[in-house]
Each structure stands twice: as C-alpha cells, then as structure tokens.
Structure 1
Amino acid sequence: MKWFEDGALHFALGIEDTFVPQSRAGERPIDEYELTEHYEQVETDLGLAASVGAELLRWGVPWYRVAPTAETWDWSWTDRALDRFRELGLRPVVDLLHYGTPLWLDDQFANPDYPERMAEFASRFAERYGDVATDYTPVNEPMIHALFSGEYAYWPPYRSGPTGLASIASSLARGFVLTQQGIAEQLGDRATFVHVDAGMRYVGDTDAPEHRETVARLREQTFLVEDLVTGGVGDGHPLLAQLHRGGVTDALLAWFRDNAVRPDVMGVNYYPLHSTEVFEAGVHHGGGFADPRPFFDAGTDGLREVLTTYADRYGAPVMLTETCVTGSVEQRIAWMDESVAALHDLRGEGVPVVGYTWWPLFDMYEWTYRHSSSPRVDHLLTMGLYDLVETSGGHLDRRRTPVADRFHQHAVAGSRAEAPA
C-alpha cells in the first residue's frame, strides 16, 4: 500500500525552490535556495520540517547546479540533503523542475534536446537516490512555466502569445512524459508520481464581448499540459487549432496518446489571494507579472472548486500541494484553519483528498527580485511557519512563529484521523 492509500489526510510542507539562473540586461538570476541560504542550512531546515510534524516535504533539485555542464554531474550537495532525509525519516516529494534549465541549454524549453536532457537528469537522480526518494513531481506547475516562458515573454526563452505558449507547453509535456517513464524504469512499482499544477480561476465580466474568447481559452489552457501528458488531446479538443499554430503536429499528439502517463496523486496549488483573476468590462490586462489582472479572494469556495474539478477531470486522488497567505501570523493561522477544515469537509463529502501542504516552510523572496536591483530584503514575503530574519551580519535566522505550532496541531490530528465513511 502506498502512503496515500491509507485513508488519512497527510500533512506536508514545501521549501520554495524557483531556479532561473539565466540573466540579461535588467534581469538578474534568481535562485531561492541561495536567497534563503538553504544551501548552507539544509540539514537544519529539513530538521525544522520534521519537528513540526510534516510527513512529506515538497523539495526541489537545482538542475543547473547538479549539471554545470552538459556532461558533468555534481551530486555533492544533493548527497548532503538526501542523507539528512534518510536520517530524519522525512519523505521527500521531489520537484525535479521548478522553473529554469541549466545555463548550457540554449533556448531552454524551446531547445529540441530539452525533453531528453530533462529525462536523463531525472533518471540519474532516481537511480542515485531511489532508496529514499520514491515520490516525484516531474514538472511543478507546467502551465505557469508555459505562461511565463511561452506567453508572457517574462522568463527564458521569452516566447509570446498563444502560439508561443502552445510550443513551450508541448515541449514541457514531452519532457514530463519522458521523465516519468525514466523514473519508472529505475524504480518500478515503488515510484509514485504527484502531478502538480496551479489552480487558476477567472471571474468578473467574463461574458463581455471583448473577453469571452480569451476567458474560454484561458480556462482550457489551465489543463493543457496535464491533458497532453495523460493522452487527452485528440480530435475535438478545444485547443487543437492553437496547438497546430504553435507547431504541434498530429504525429506528436498521437505520440502523447500512445505514451500517456497518469498521476498517482493530482496536486493542485491554490492561493486564495492570487488564484482567481478578475476580468473587467472595457479593461484589458495581458495577465502575468508585467500586466496583471486584479485578483479576487475566493477563499475556501475557490479551493473546494479547484480540488473537486481536478479530481473529477483526472480520476485520481487529489492533494493540496501549495497554499498560504502572505500576511501577519494571525492571517496565516486563520487561512490554515479555514483551508484544513475545507479539506476535511471535502473528504466527508467523498472527494478523495489525501494531502495538505503549507508552502513554504519559511519565508521566501518574491520573483520580482529578478527584475530589480534592490536588496533581497525588499522582496521578502512573510508566508512561512518560520520568519526569515536577517541579522546584522547578513545571516538569515529562521524564527519560529505560532503558525508552526498550529501546523503541528493539524498534522498530529490529521495522522490520527479515520478515513471518511
């Protein structure tokens, strides 16, 4: 029996692991592990996760550091980290790609060799650490990857528009499939795959003539990569014409159907303050960081909707793989209580919810750091169980807050919960 089959609600944490190492004029690299000093403090950080009752930790691998050249592999830091996972008995859910590629991979996700290179990295990791790491997310939030790199031209390789998105999404999806196949070859039935994407919702004047077509496209795009990797894109798919314009051939779509991979658990990331975008009649917003639409706090109503939608669409158990609010300790605790209660309610209604993840374990730095010259402190987001506090010497302390105590209470109660009738 795998961990998600025991009927309990499993509690997890995550460590923010965005890696976009490329730079150009006006943009600096962003590596959250470097910004938060996780490289230096990895052993104590993993200990913090275990100390508050987390059973699982969503944790990423800096591919660009592990593979500094196309033919070089440096596992020294990951060896340290995985040794600590073994020591603690903490279960990693490994984010193999949480944005960003190595510096030597020209054109990043648009490189024709990207899918095979990604699969090679994943297979090598699984072979080396398969005794302790059996749970994998092949690509975290592939649709956010595709939007930021393929539609918004915000991250490398800076493609734009719906056709750019289709091209990048299909490349990500092919790498996703090859990655899952490679891990399965290494680990066999021991492997568990937690697919993770962002829950995205659109409300407001969605029927306004100037928005109707865009909203219809965006609502379908939310599921595009997962539809591709699970073999769900064929004749009649509403985005078929967009895929064709983006260079996706019928032969490639047939390959996806012939090589379909399934999630053991379907993960959904949901942030009440950011996951629901608002359309306004007469107002155009392109979306994304450069031209954001207003957001609507949909609270637990939005959370219930996205989890139920993914459970129904893909026929797999679902897990809330990221949630939090940026705010005071009191605001963080309030959302934790509300969101945990919502998951228990869903389970009671028969929705197969198997996990809850507070993201992140400790604070992080906003992605706007990449497009700024300001010091990291100007981009701090207070989201974690532990606040990041910069000392006079420039060191980052992890300061425990009451949010950690509340998470521990929920985790202990969740481990004792009976399966819903």
Structure 2
Amino acid sequence: MTTPWYRDGTLHFGVGVEDTFVPQERPGERAIDEYVLTEHDVRWHADLGLAADAGAGFVRWGVPWYLVQPEPDRFEWSWLDQVFARFAELGLRPIVDLMHYGTPLWLEHQFAAADYPARVAEYSVRVAERYSDTVTDYTPLNEPMIHALFSGEYAYWPPYLAGEPGLVRMVEQLGRGFVLAQRGMREVLGARGAFVHVDAGMRYAGDLDAPEHRALAHRLRHQVWLVEDLVTGRVGDAHPLCSLLERHGVDGEALAWFAEHAVQPDVYGINYYPRHSTEMLEAGVHHGGGFADPRPVRDDGVDGLIELLREGAARYGAPVMVSETCVTASVPERAAWLGESAGAVRALRADGVDVVGYTWWPLFDMYEWTWRHSTSPREAHRLTMGLFDLVETPAGLERRATSLVDAFRSEAVDPRNRTQKQK
C-alpha cells in the first residue's frame, strides 16, 4: 500500500485560493463569492498553473456548493470536472474544502435548517463519489468555530443567530454535518481518503483574570477547540464547556451520539495569522468580538504559531500542518514572515513535532469580507496577502508576480524539508 503523503517524512509546501462563498443577500449586504471577486472563476486554469510554477505541491481549494448544487435535486458538474482535470494534468494535489462558509440559496435557514447536516453530507458524498479516482484529500468544514461565531454568536452571516444560544446551535449543527459528511466520504474512499481538519488558531492574552473577563476568557480559551473536540468524541461531563452546551440544549443524548459516531483527523490544520490570531482582553473594557466589535490584537509572531501547533498535535494525536498563514503587508514584510514561519516549522520538526505541511494563504490577493457590507469597489477592499498581487487592468485582474514567488519556491525545495527527528 502506498504511504500517505502525510506519513512520508516530508514537509509539504502548498498554497490556498481564498474560497469564501456567502451567496445570500439582504438590504445593505451583497453576496460574496471570492472566486468571482478575484476572477478565479474564469482564470482558474492559469491560476493553477501559477501555483505549480511557484513550487506548490498541493493547493487548498474549495468547491462552491451553491453553484454545484443549484437546486435540491440537481447537481452541475461541468465546471468542477474541468478544474479537477487541470489539477491532475499539473500533478497538483487538491486538498478540497467542501464547506468554506455559505450554503445554497435554496436551503432555508442555512446552517440552522433541520436538514442541514443531512444535506451537507449528501453533497459531500456526491463530490467524493464523482472524483474518487483522482481526488482523495478533503477538509469537510473549514474553520468551524469561525462559522459558529459569525453565523451564531455575532449574527454577522446567515442565519444571523446571536449570543450563546446561537453559538451552541451552530456548534451542534455544524458538528453533525461534519461527522455525517466525513463518515459518508470514508465509505466511498476507504483508506485512500485523507481528512484534513482545519480551524482558526485563535489565542487570547491580556487581562484574562480581570473579574469582568474571567468567565469569558475561560470560554474563549476552550472554544478554540470546541467543534473539533465535539466531532472527535472528546466532549463529555469533564469537558470545560460541557455545561455551556447543556445549558443551551445539547444534552447527554446528543453528546453520546457524537462519541459513538466520532471522526478523527488524518491531519489537523492550524490557520494562523500573526497580526490577527492573538486577541487582547483589557480590564475595564468590553469587547464583544467580531467585525462589528473587534478586540485589539497583539502580534506574537512565531511564538503563537509554535504554541498552537504543539497543542494541536498533543490534543488530537495526529500530524499537524500550517493550513493558512501570511501577513497582510508589503512584499518585504510578507517575505520576512515566510522565512520566519517556515523556519519555525522546521525547528518544530527537528524537535519531534510531526508537522507535515505549510500553506501560504492565499496564492494571490483576496478581498476583505467587509466588501459584503460596503458599496465601495473591490479595489478598496483588496488585501495584499498573496505571492502574486492582483492589479486592476482594462482586461481584468492581472496576477503580478512578486519576489515572494521565488522565495516560496526556495522554501518548498529546501533539502531540510526531508529531515525529521523521530520521537
């Protein structure tokens, strides 16, 4: 049997294509589809070529569910067929996001719909079945805690639930869909399937012991891992957030279901952005969190990345990877972070931590999610994050290579990627 890529002793380098899809609109909010905003929907053939030329061995890439399944009983495969054929042509490994925000327009109440878990599982299994000969690596649900916060607690995205009840409702719904999707895809793919679980590496610092923040800080520190703990069967009576779940309707029977049907990651991915991933709590100041009421942040550089990778590896007993990272900054600042973060990952490997992947996110610039709530043109929301800059031209968005392309390629072929101290 062929050794899985995540067991071959190599530090694999890849890139991502930003793939947020929130197609629902309402007054003051326009639909957001990052493939359309970045013109990847029409430039995908060349874009994947850029990823291969930059030295990427894999691409984290998402399926727009709302387009692939435009009606409950109808799937449209033609575009996706072409994209996955291009992956195969280039020898690029797709790690496929099946849910990167946003449900189809026909699914009323979105994630809160009673049939959401079954619907997302059906869609996921259909994708796995159709491409089982060439695509084997999947992320069933990207950043489940960000989903739960934005669609639940913050009421920022559909279905616009709010507070602790909304958060818990989303955690349970997303978790059930996650479990059913992975179990269904495992039946299709068997041992060939590789499931990369990915969540945002959120950290909290500052006045965590201030009386007004103590309960919140307790919840925040543990909810970073909550959905992953739930789907892997780790939430029982002793879990620090068990009482939160039970208080809002996730009872012992529900927890028993998750324990009985638990799914495990083949690789656990951490999305880490040094200038955003560590939020601060200040004594005497209320910060609700989210775009509408952001907390101040602190740049902890590679220290935060190292801490989260170590904890993820220890907590889930699986290989880990940096599934997203970059800084939104000038090219020299981006290059500095590329070198620092890749060096930190290699140091962790030398110390026995089983880090198997590094993902620069994204391949080219993206547009900030605030575009959804704005009337400004897309350029006003461009985030300078990519190996390639996006440049407005009369012919559309030019992908303009920066010096980061060569820097990334050098990191990807570094001979140290093959060395790893054994535990």
TM-score by length of 1: 0.98
What is the rounded CA distance, in whole Å, between the counterparts of 2:386 and 2:361 in structure 1?
7
Q: CA deviation at 1:403?
A: 0.6
SS at match of 1:156: coil
Aligned to 1:217: 219
Give the root-mean-square deviation of aligned CA atoms.
0.9
Aligned to 2:77: 75
Aligned ranges for residues 19-418 of structure 1 at < 5 Å?
Answer: 19-393=21-395, 395-413=396-414, 417-418=418-419
Equivalent AA in structure 1 for residue 292 of structure 2:
A
SS at match of 1:357: strand
SS at match of 1:356: strand
> Contact 2:346–2:417 at 8 Å: present in 1 too?
no
Equivalent AA in structure 2 for residue 249 of structure 1:
D
Q: CA deviation at 1:306?
A: 0.5
Equivalent AA in structure 2 for residue 417 of structure 1:
R
What is the rounded CA distance, in whole Å, between the counterparts of 1:415 and 1:248 in structure 2?
47
What is the rounded CA distance, in whole Å, between the counterparts of 2:275 and 2:105 in structure 1?
33
TM-score by length of 2: 0.98
Pick which of 54-63 and 229-238 moved more.
Answer: 229-238
> Contact 2:210–2:283 at 8 Å: present in 1 too?
yes
Aligned to 2:421: 420
What is the rounded CA distance, in whole Å, between the counterparts of 1:247 and 1:123 in structure 2?
29
Q: CA deviation at 1:247?
A: 1.9
Pick which of 295-304 and 230-239 moved more.
Answer: 230-239
Pick which of 292-301 and 411-420 moved more.
Answer: 411-420
SS at match of 1:207: coil
SS at match of 1:325: coil
Q: Aligned residues: percent identity?
A: 63
Equivalent AA in structure 2 for residue 65 of structure 1:
L
SS at match of 1:57: strand
Aligned to 1:12: 14
Q: CA deviation at 1:248?
A: 1.4
Q: CA deviation at 1:7?
A: 0.8
Q: CA deviation at 1:419?
A: 2.8
Distance 1:114 1:414, change over 3 A: farther
What is the rounded CA distance, in whole Å, between the counterparts of 1:318 and 1:416 in structure 2?
15
Q: CA deviation at 1:416?
A: 5.5
What is the rounded CA distance, in whole Å, between the counterparts of 2:233 and 2:171 in structure 1?
14
Q: Which runs of 5+ in 2 are unaligned?
A: none
What is the rounded CA distance, in whole Å, between the counterparts of 1:20 and 1:415 in structure 2?
40
What is the rounded CA distance, in whole Å, between the counterparts of 1:416 and 1:222 in structure 2?
29
What is the rounded CA distance, in whole Å, between the counterparts of 1:223 and 1:303 in structure 2?
15
> Contact 1:143–1:225 at 8 Å: present in 2 too?
yes
What is the rounded CA distance, in whole Å, between the counterparts of 1:370 and 1:117 in structure 2?
26
> Contact 1:234–1:253 at 8 Å: present in 2 too?
yes
Q: CA deviation at 1:240?
A: 1.5
CA deviation string 1:235-269 (max 9, x = no partner) = 12121221123221221111100001000000000
What is the rounded CA distance, in whole Å, between the counterparts of 1:23 and 1:99 in structure 2?
14
> Contact 2:29–2:372 at 8 Å: present in 1 too?
yes
What is the rounded CA distance, in whole Å, between the counterparts of 2:342 and 2:125 in structure 1?
35
How many corresponding residue pairs?
A: 420
What is the rounded CA distance, in whole Å, between the counterparts of 2:90 and 2:27 in structure 1?
43
What is the rounded CA distance, in whole Å, between the counterparts of 1:229 and 1:269 in structure 2?
19
> Contact 1:9–1:414 at 8 Å: present in 2 too?
no
What is the rounded CA distance, in whole Å, between the counterparts of 2:401 and 2:416 in structure 1?
22
Equivalent AA in structure 2 for residue 304 of structure 1:
I
What is the rounded CA distance, in whole Å, between the counterparts of 1:191 and 1:265 in structure 2?
11
Equivalent AA in structure 2 for residue 57 of structure 1:
V
What is the rounded CA distance, in whole Å, between the counterparts of 1:229 and 1:340 in structure 2?
30
SS at match of 2:414: helix
Distance 1:83 1:145, change over 3 A: same
CA deviation string 1:28-70 (max 9, x = no partner) = 1000000000110011011111111111100000000001111
